[in-house]
Structure 1
Amino acid sequence: MSTPASLPISLPTDPHSYAGSSPIRAHHLALDLTVDFESRTLAGSATWHLAPSVAATEVVFDTRDLTIEKVEHIDETGQALETAFSLDAPDPTLGQALRVPLAPGTTALRVHYHTAPTAAALQWLLPAQTAGSQPFLFTQSQAILARTWLPCQDSPGIRFTYEARVRVPAHLLALMSAENPQQLNATGAYHFRMSQPIPAYLMALAVGDLVFAPLSNRTGIYAEPATLPVATHEFADLEHMVAAAEELYGPYRWERYDLLVLPPSFPFGGMENPRLTFVTPTILAGDRSLTSLVAHELAHSWSGNLVTNTTWNDFWLNEGFTVYFERRIMEHLYGREYADMLQVLGRAALHHTIAEIGVASPDTHLHLALAGRDPDEGLTEIAYEKGCSLLLTLEALIGRPRLDTFIKEYFARFSFQAMDTATFLHYLRAELLDKEPGLEDRLQLAAWVDGPGLPPNAPAVTSHRFELVDDALARLKSGTSPITLRADTAEWSSHEWVYFLQGLPPTLTAGQLETLETAFHFTTSGNAEILTAWFPHTIRAEYAAAAPALEKFLRHVGRRKFLVPLYRALIARPDGAARAWAIYKEARPNYHSVATGTLDALLAARP
């Protein structure tokens, strides 16, 4: 559906894309690639079909560290003719603009190229870094890394459909954010099609020793053979999640919803690639207690994938809605008390982020100003949890039924379109705020969007189940033995344990930690969330018994959310910098560039 005539057509310049200001847009991609594990490169061509334009004299693409071999014009008859092209001077973050002059009658451009072995979006894993005995490749295109593995108009506000031919070693399976095979092709040649238009950051490719298990007629799991049984058990509720999401905010528009469980070096919890969400194995807790992450990525099928932030300055429009939606899904499936725990943990993470960034910092605004910086700097809890808190505030003011109607109509009206902050605020006022005098003032909208910190009208979030955890913490503080508490904690979820560990005083001694370990066996937990809450205590107290498990975790897990606080805890110790660097030096090859980009800066002052 087109933008209503009453809304301003707002097309802000994307500061992170040379192609954002291109006078002509590409609307369809035909990709042809060969995956070479030996050279760690992708090689082939990207054929971009262009939207008609009478005024355009050139087309601009984003590239970074690509070798452009040649460019061809393609005319109405399909004839290809090599043409000139130029590359601007490189920028370390944005890469280079690829500029191609247009000849009369050009309908498409074919760019022949190959990637660098160090392409930031690509992680090439050795067999020892996987769950099996085969190599593995996966991409991570968000925020502006798609340009490191294909020349593209790498702005979230530009959408295109695509088809692809990908050749891989015959014993490996290839998957993309598209219609996917469910069985190995003995030739190693795979064909893909994505008929719904997506932005470049949702382009995805994975190649590995992968097998598939269906969960329903539209959901299933891809994983390495050793991981698949655990994954299918963990995600048994996937179809119920999709059905719950549809009941809340309208039909699922992407046909299939499958998950790909990646090796542990994946730097995020999940990535919402359409039709094929990438997820970290760190959520395979065995008790389905961490599947809210899957609900989050599923919610992106509406918020982000269906209606997309126009630029990364508008990132909160993706994530704030998604966090709110995720918790509504979890409430629908597991009850209000379960969702309340997620809200409390999220609000605590938001307060921590605000304190870390600085309460007066403009980086705590919802609408960001990221020009001149890597947009990855805007991927903080501000967009996620402050954005969610704004919607919780609106819910408290107008009630759930009205807010649900608004959100459902918003997704339907702007499907497969981009949305920037100014246009959204205009729509919000027209559809809700202006219809009730004084509502915008009570909401304090400007303070949320363009003000720092958390506005004082944010509703409090509480959890009955966490009140019981608080009681256990109080009893522990008063001298109750941890072993005595075991009966009361037997049914706790990972969320309660994380809250418990976060509530422990930071002054515990190694002896006190040993008593807790004897009672609850935190160090040997298979739950990454629990370990990440436990290890900072062991680091501060120099609890030597946990040191081998900590080092194993840091060498094995690549999820940035876990790595950053643990390395920070290490370097906060008097002799911690040397230890942190020793671990990092060994572990770094296992991490994706998204993680190393952050950790290189954190550990820059190494001994």
Structure 2
Amino acid sequence: MRRPISKVASGLALLLATAACTGATSEPVVSTAIPEPMVSPILTGPEALDTLTYAQPQVARVTHVALDLELDFDAKAIGGTATLDIAAGEDADELVLDSNGLQITAVTDAAGQPLYFHTGDGTGETGKGLPVSIAIGKEAGSPRRIVITYAAAPDAAALQWLTREQTAGKVHPFLFSQGQAILNRTWIPTQDSPGIRQTWEARITAPKPLDVVMSGVVQGEPEDLGDGRRAFSFVMDKPVPPYLIAIAAGDIDFRAIGPRTGVWAEPSVLPRAYAEVADTEEMVVAAEALYGEYRWGRYDMIILPPAFPYGGMENPVMTFLTPTFIAGDRSNNGLVAHELAHSWSGNLVTNAVWGDSWLNEGVTTYFENRIVEAVYGKKRAEQEAALMYANIQEVLAEVGADAPGTALATDGEYQLGSAIAYDKGAFFLRTVERITGRERFDAWLRQWFDNHAFQPATSEMFYEDMMANLVASDAEAEALMLRDWIFAPGLPGNVAKPDPAAFAEVDAAVSEYKASGHMPAAYAGWTAAEQMRFLDNLPAELSTDQLSALDQALGLSQTGNNEILFLWLEMALENRYEPAVAQAEEFLARVGRAKFVRPLFAVLWNEGEWGRPIATRIYAKTRDSYHAVTRAGVDRVLASE
């Protein structure tokens, strides 16, 4: 997942080249080949204990999920059956699932015989445990099977049902899901833990003419049911953490980029979306050259409506992306590099617990930067790294260099969207690379992916693998400071700082503006990263005249880049710049990305008597249009004193 809160942009340079489309077709490739399902191990060490699940996988664990569900857009309902394959010992008599609001009407064995189930204890975002009797079944070690008939609650947090007015086409409704971190238990009855990987399949029925996509390989053509509905089938034969089961349905079309890459979007959005992501096949090739084979078959993307709460979500074979990254010049498509990199770090090898989320996000952010360097050049990669480093420094200055939450491993609490999990994690690997040498480091990271493919991992495992397979001597171990990086707060003294020349021109322009108010004449020709660096380092306090002059000279309110527009609005609202209020209201009404929405409401709320009435008025109009993730963040802001 791409950072939901951080101010650092995802991608930066102005590039207009079009990727080659060798072998591309106008229709998505389908598959009917289903290899033998894999079963991933369960980690049993204390550091792998997931406190956010009710499951007891050492007793009985889900290995495969088969969904047969119907989408009802009028009722905003999804329901049907989930058939679960279970691995359990002969003495196991209970399977514990996770459920948050699921409306379960029956649980049976494979023969249709009722099984006893009840709702366990639990409150809050973790929902409740769902114990099911499995005292019947085959001999020890053989799979058992149960069938759950259920429906998701109308307000299931993982699902967002959009009216046709909330889409680009404004003709048909839309549905998408967002499962990370523990939201999929609101629409799928399973063991919702990243350490309990599962294969899955699904049959989804939806009204014509809507198409359905999922984070699995589509099987054949849609089946016409003859009642104004069609059925779509999908398979994921590789075990994945349950949060990566995802669905989207709406009026969407497909356009191929390369032989294994393509993009889905609403018809009116598709031309712009395709132009923005046309380098994707080249990125896949670059990623494979770095760290080995892409193992998921296809790499497709879907550009969702703007209510999607994140920049991107790395769902296998179908990355979900926000339309807010489309700038018309590919300056933000480091986002695509990030979600692609997750195909190795996060999807192939996954944090067993959310307290180790840096294993997903930090490793991915490092990998993203390497893809950017390979495809777009070292200057762009160094500029992105410099923005990341500034983000770390900003957070440490705010919370304190010794704050416990600034360690990479966080003892069971999931850490998403933080400059620590993403950027400190990336700079950890950047530092290791600098000390050991790129060639040796790349060989080590590649073997890490190969040797732990389709398995969960912990920070301790990562450390031990480095010590066993990378570190060459006691002296090198001391120089690397591995345990300090992973388990201690703050930023170790050996950090490989970014090249100070990356933004030398921009930083000089900032100093000149602070001294004389002089506008940089070169601003229009700068990369998006350079423009963001300039804006992010201007004085915190600016007068109305200064803000007006900045807007007029630099065209800030007219930019087509949402990353830059966000920085402008944040700066303007912090200084109570009245002309920006209407634009902020328009922006918050059309964008649901938490990275933008929550901070802007926080700025308004922090401005007391001036800003709070504005925030309250805007939120009254926009709250229902936001995903549950975004709403929760803003609700916390507006409830604060």
Q: TM-score range by the shorter chain?
A: over 0.9
Displacement after TM superposition at 1:40 (Å) = 1.4
**TM-score of the superposition, structure 2-length normalised?**
0.89
Q: Does 1:492 align with 2:526?
A: yes
Q: Distance in 1 between matches of 2:317 and 2:51?
A: 29
Q: Contact between 2:222 and 2:233, CA under 8 Å: does it hold in 1?
A: no
Deviation sequence 1:65-110 (CA, Å, 0-9, x none): 1111110012xxxx22111111112311211111111133252011
Q: Helix, strand or coil for the counterpart of 1:81? A: coil
Q: Contact between 2:39 and 2:63, CA under 8 Å: does it hold in 1?
A: no
Within a 5 Å distance, the mapping from 1:149-188 to structure 2 comes to: 149-180=187-218, 187-188=229-230
Q: Contact between 2:357 and 2:421, CA under 8 Å: does it hold in 1?
A: yes
Greater mean alpha carbon deviation, residues 336-345 or residues 10-19: 10-19
Within a 5 Å distance, the mapping from 1:367-446 to structure 2 comes to: 367-370=409-412, 375=414, 377-433=415-471, 435-446=472-483
Q: Does 1:462 align with 2:499?
A: yes
Deviation sequence 1:298-353 (CA, Å, 0-9, x none): 00000000000011111111111101000000000111110011111111112222
Q: Distance in 1 between matches of 2:326 and 2:95?
A: 45
Which residue of 605, 616, 635 maps to 1:581? 616
Distance 1:182 1:32, change over 3 A: closer
Q: Contact between 1:265 and 1:591, CA under 8 Å: does it hold in 2?
A: yes
The aligned amino acid for 1:461 is P
Q: Contact between 1:173 and 1:183, CA under 8 Å: does it hold in 2?
A: no
Which residue of 75, 88, 96 maps to 2:120? 88
Deviation sequence 1:114-143 (CA, Å, 0-9, x none): 011110101111111111121111000000
Distance 1:65 1:357, change over 3 A: farther
Displacement after TM superposition at 1:490 (Å) = 3.0
Distance 1:185 1:8, change over 3 A: closer
The aligned amino acid for 1:45 is T
Q: Does 1:595 align with 2:630?
A: yes
Q: Helix, strand or coil for the counterpart of 1:368? A: coil
Q: Distance in 2 between matches of 1:316 and 1:359?
A: 18
Q: Contact between 2:67 and 2:82, CA under 8 Å: does it hold in 1?
A: yes
Q: Helix, strand or coil for the counterpart of 2:218? A: coil
The aligned amino acid for 1:82 is P
Distance 1:501 1:338, change over 3 A: same
Partner of 1:56: 92
What runs of 5+ residues in structure 2 fail to find an aligned partner? 1-37, 139-143
Q: Helix, strand or coil for the counterpart of 2:289? A: helix
Q: Contact between 1:350 and 1:382, CA under 8 Å: does it hold in 2?
A: yes
Q: Distance in 1 between matches of 2:373 and 2:630?
A: 32
Q: Distance in 1 between matches of 2:443 and 2:86?
A: 37
Q: Does 1:214 align with 2:223?
A: no
Q: Contact between 2:302 and 2:321, CA under 8 Å: does it hold in 1?
A: yes
Q: Contact between 1:307 and 1:418, CA under 8 Å: does it hold in 2?
A: yes
Partner of 2:323: 281
Q: Helix, strand or coil for the counterpart of 2:113? A: strand
Partner of 1:43: 79
Greater mean alpha carbon deviation, residues 566-575 or residues 354-363: 354-363
Displacement after TM superposition at 1:12 (Å) = 2.3
Q: Contact between 1:130 and 1:136, CA under 8 Å: does it hold in 2?
A: yes
Displacement after TM superposition at 1:52 (Å) = 4.8
Deviation sequence 1:215-245 (CA, Å, 0-9, x none): 0110000000111000000011000000000
Q: Contact between 2:260 and 2:299, CA under 8 Å: does it hold in 1?
A: yes
Greater mean alpha carbon deviation, residues 64-73 or residues 172-181: 172-181
Within a 5 Å distance, the mapping from 1:254-403 to structure 2 comes to: 254-370=296-412, 375=414, 377-403=415-441
The aligned amino acid for 1:204 is A
Q: Does 1:144 align with 2:182?
A: yes
Greater mean alpha carbon deviation, residues 98-107 or residues 220-229: 98-107
Distance 1:355 1:55, change over 3 A: farther
Give the paired residue count.
592
Partner of 2:490: 453
Deviation sequence 1:453-491 (CA, Å, 0-9, x none): 112221211353411111222333343643xx33x2232
Partner of 2:55: 19
The aligned amino acid for 2:491 is L
Displacement after TM superposition at 1:265 (Å) = 0.9
What runs of 5+ residues in structure 1 fail to find an aligned partner? none
Q: Distance in 1 between matches of 2:220 and 2:603?
A: 43
Q: Distance in 2 between matches of 1:196 and 1:493?
A: 40
Q: Distance in 1 between matches of 2:602 and 2:563?
A: 16
Displacement after TM superposition at 1:593 (Å) = 0.7
Q: Helix, strand or coil for the counterpart of 1:212? A: strand
Q: Does 1:103 align with 2:135?
A: yes
Q: Distance in 2 between matches of 1:185 and 1:356?
A: 55
Partner of 1:130: 167
Q: Does 1:200 align with 2:200?
A: no
Q: Helix, strand or coil for the counterpart of 1:80? A: coil
Higher relative contact order (CA 8 A, sep 6+): 2
Q: Distance in 1 between matches of 2:151 and 2:208?
A: 21
The aligned amino acid for 1:87 is T
Q: Contact between 2:52 and 2:193, CA under 8 Å: does it hold in 1?
A: yes
Partner of 2:27: none
Q: Helix, strand or coil for the counterpart of 1:226? A: coil
The aligned amino acid for 2:594 is R
Distance 1:283 1:35, change over 3 A: same
Distance 1:183 1:567, change over 3 A: farther
Q: Contact between 2:524 and 2:554, CA under 8 Å: does it hold in 1?
A: no
Q: Contact between 1:175 and 1:181, CA under 8 Å: does it hold in 2?
A: no
Q: Does 1:112 align with 2:149?
A: yes
The aligned amino acid for 1:102 is I
The aligned amino acid for 2:203 is R
Distance 1:211 1:463, change over 3 A: farther
Partner of 2:511: 474
Displacement after TM superposition at 1:577 (Å) = 1.6
Displacement after TM superposition at 1:542 (Å) = 2.5
Q: Contact between 1:470 and 1:500, CA under 8 Å: does it hold in 2?
A: yes
Q: Does 1:548 align with 2:582?
A: yes
Deviation sequence 1:425-469 (CA, Å, 0-9, x none): 111111122x31222221222221221111222121135341111
Q: Helix, strand or coil for the counterpart of 2:267? A: coil
Q: Contact between 1:183 and 1:212, CA under 8 Å: does it hold in 2?
A: no
Q: Distance in 1 between matches of 2:44 and 2:219?
A: 42
Distance 1:558 1:20, change over 3 A: farther
Q: Helix, strand or coil for the counterpart of 1:221? A: strand
Q: Distance in 1 between matches of 2:132 and 2:599?
A: 45
Which residue of 508, 529, 546 maps to 2:542? 508
Displacement after TM superposition at 1:505 (Å) = 0.7
Greater mean alpha carbon deviation, residues 52-61 or residues 189-198: 52-61
Deviation sequence 1:362-421 (CA, Å, 0-9, x none): 1111111245xxx3x544121111111111111121111110000011101110011011
Displacement after TM superposition at 1:3 (Å) = 11
Deviation sequence 1:166-219 (CA, Å, 0-9, x none): 011111111110013798765421111111111101010101111000001100
Q: Helix, strand or coil for the counterpart of 1:318? A: helix
Q: Distance in 1 between matches of 2:130 and 2:65?
A: 16
Greater mean alpha carbon deviation, residues 546-555 or residues 200-209: 546-555
**TM-score of the superposition, structure 1-length normalised?**
0.94
Displacement after TM superposition at 1:8 (Å) = 9.7
Partner of 2:31: none
Distance 1:109 1:184, change over 3 A: closer
Distance 1:88 1:155, change over 3 A: same
Q: Distance in 2 between matches of 1:197 and 1:155?
A: 13
Q: Helix, strand or coil for the counterpart of 1:103? A: coil
The aligned amino acid for 1:119 is A
Displacement after TM superposition at 1:582 (Å) = 1.4
Q: Helix, strand or coil for the counterpart of 1:191? A: strand
Which residue of 37, 62, 67 maps to 2:103? 67
